[in-house]
Each structure stands twice: as structure tokens, then as C-alpha cells.
Amino acid sequence: MNNAELLTYIVITYNHEEYIEKCLYSLINQTTKFKYKILIIDDHSLDNTQQIIKSILKNNNNNINYFRTKKNYGNFRGAASEYADEIKTEFIAFIEGDDYIVSNNKIETQLKYMLSNPEIVGTYHST
């Protein structure tokens, strides 16, 4: 396996100070042999979301890029489109800052499945 990241997790957040820490650690703590990166896009939060993210980055910034929009777009597409050039991986996954992953092997499981089944272009689960 080469050293390039295979997946970018895009985290869109806005005023998620109560949830962003759990969200980010659910990504950071994934157990996988695949390299992945986390792209955090703060849609100009007005609460303490930015400070919480910066605190987490102090100890966990190896595969994390953080951006704060100059204005609030109020929607996923607007905020994410501003940073689309940052995504250079074969696969992308989306998670909002008030969500989190319950399984520490979710990335591993999904990427193995996608790589074994190239005719599949996406996966999802019920919520």
C-alpha cells in the first residue's frame, strides 16, 4: 500500500460546541490500515466550536486540516465548495459536526468493501 491517503472525511460544523469533540475523536480513533485525512470546515461558528477544534488540533494534527469560512454559508454545499481543492483522495465521506461514528472500524470496513467492489460508487446506512 502506498503512503497516500485514500479517504478524506469532510466535517462540516456550525455552532456544534456541544458535539464537535465527540465527532472528531470518533474519526481520530478509527482503527484502520488505510491512511485517511480529516478536513474540518467551520461554517463561521459563533460559539466555542473554533476553540474546541484548535485545542484538539494541538495534539492530533497529523492528518487534520482545519478551515474556517469567512462568512456563514448556512448550507453544506456552500461551505464545502470553498475548500474542494483540498480533496485529493480517491474516496470522500461526509459527517456533520454534531454526529459521530460509533464503531472504531467503520472506515476500515467501508474502504475494504469499496475497494473489493469497484462497481459500487457509494455506501450509506440508516440513521
Name the percent of the chain lying above pLDDT 90: 68
pTM, full prediction: 0.90
Q: What does the pLDDT look like over 62-116, one tens digit per residue?
A: 789 999 999 988 877 777 778 888 889 999 999 999 999 999 999 999 899 999 9
**Cα three-residue angle 112-32-89, rounded to 5 degrees:** 65
Q: Virtual CA dihedral for 68, 70, 74, 76, nearest 10 degrees?
A: -50
Residue 127 has pLDDT above 70, yes or no: no
Share of the chain above pLDDT 70, in %: 96
The yes-or-no verdict on residue 2 having pLDDT over 70 is no
